[in-house]
């Protein structure tokens, strides 16, 4: 029997410094392929130091390469982001409910990413591109604090150059080289010219941002059950037994992290549930 608490060792194949505090690793999962759905996450264990929940940011068609984009914020993520190719991480997962990319077939799809929220949305975007014919308009709206905080800037450029996608990037504060829009990401949503009857929204970022995205989408007439958010909570187990990730009646690790706004919207109005 596989013990759900025991991680599998995987070797880091490559490391890419995305921003000053954020790193993308590719792990060699060829011995134990990680077949994941966009929006799922794993638990990454740095030997002897601790374990953290991290979204898969890679391509769902490549289960032998496990890609994670990690921001150094604390006691475990800092030492993890210092690892180099050849070093080993423990991996459990994948866990959680995915973005509703299947349910979205036939619809226009808008992904709205704030900051690190691009990491869990990237697999969804790659899925949309890989199955482009199954979707209507596909839009990627990205917000970052400054141009230097943008994740995957080269790829954003390449996606933007395609004729069958709409990719827009905005920053809170520009620098000298910035030619794009300045302001919050909800602005981009306001100007996207969406058809509310055939649009699905998937958003990940700080909770206030997701709240404003949902509010704007609702204002445009997009139904609550077509708006999906991805939540972050303290997680110790990812298998629904440690209790930490409870949010209302939901276990975020098991019932989420992706939720429909129809299910959780009211919760955003009550602090500390």
> Which residues here bind ligand FAD, judged by CB under 6 A?
41, 50, 52-55, 69-71, 73-78, 116, 119-120, 232-236, 257
| Strand 199-204 with 108-114, pairing | parallel
Binding mask 236-265 for other proteins (x = CB under 8 A): xx-xxxxxx-x-xx-x--x-----------
Contact 54, 42 (CB under 8 A): yes
Q: Is residue 16 within 8 Å of residue 23, measured between CB atoms?
A: yes
Interface residue with ligand FES, options 224, 236, 247, 263 (CB under 6 A):
236
How is 152-199 classified by DSSP, letter by letter?
SHHHHHHHHH-TT-EEEEEESS--TT--S-BS-HHHHHHTS---GGGE
Q: Binders of ligand SF4 among 68-97, rule CB under 6 A?
A: none
Contact mark string toward other proteins, 8..47, x via CB under 8 A: -x-x---------------------------------x-x
Closest CA to 68 of 117, 111, 10, 120: 120
193 binds, among other proteins, ligand SF4, ligand FES, none (CB under 5 to 8 A by kind): none
Binding status of residue 240 toward ligand FES by CB under 6 A: yes
- CB-CB contact of 216 with 190 (8 Å): yes
Beta strands in 72-147 (DSSP E): 88-95, 108-114, 138-144
Nearer to other proteins, 54 or 192 (CB): 54
Per-residue x/- mask for ligand SF4, residues 195 to 234, rule CB under 6 A?
----------------------------------------
């Amino acid at each position: 029997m596989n013990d759900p608490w025991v991680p599998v060792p995987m070797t880091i194949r490559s490391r890419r410094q995305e921003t000053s505090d954020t790193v993308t690793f590719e792990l060699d999962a060829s011995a134990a392929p990680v077949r994941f759905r966009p929006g799922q996450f794993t638990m990454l264990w740095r030997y002897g130091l601790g374990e953290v929940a991290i979204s898969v940011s890679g391509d769902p068609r490549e289960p032998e390469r496990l890609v994670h984009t990690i921001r150094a914020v604390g006691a475990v993520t800092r030492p993890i982001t210092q690892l180099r190719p050849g070093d080993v991480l423990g991996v459990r997962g994948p866990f959680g409910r995915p973005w509703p990319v299947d349910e979205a077939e036939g619809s226009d799809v808008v992904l709205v990413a704030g900051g690190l929220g691009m990491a869990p949305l990237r697999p969804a975007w790659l899925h949309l591109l890989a199955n482009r014919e199954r979707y209507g308009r596909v839009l990627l709206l990205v917000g970052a604090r400054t141009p230097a905080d943008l994740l995957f800037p080269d790829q954003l450029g390449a996606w933007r150059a395609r004729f069958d996608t709409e990719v827009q990037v905005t920053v809170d504060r520009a620098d000298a080289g910035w030619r794009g829009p300045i302001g919050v990401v909800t602005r981009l949503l306001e100007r996207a010219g969406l058809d509310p009857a055939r649009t699905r929204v998937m958003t990940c970022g700080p909770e206030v941002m997701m709240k404003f995205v949902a509010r704007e989408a609702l204002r445009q007439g997009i139904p609550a059950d077509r708006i999906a958010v991805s939540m972050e909570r303290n997680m110790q187990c990812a298998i629904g037994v440690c209790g930490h990730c409870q949010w209302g009646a939901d276990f975020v690790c098991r019932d989420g992290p992706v939720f429909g706004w129809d299910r959780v919207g009211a919760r955003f109005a009550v602090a500390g549930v």
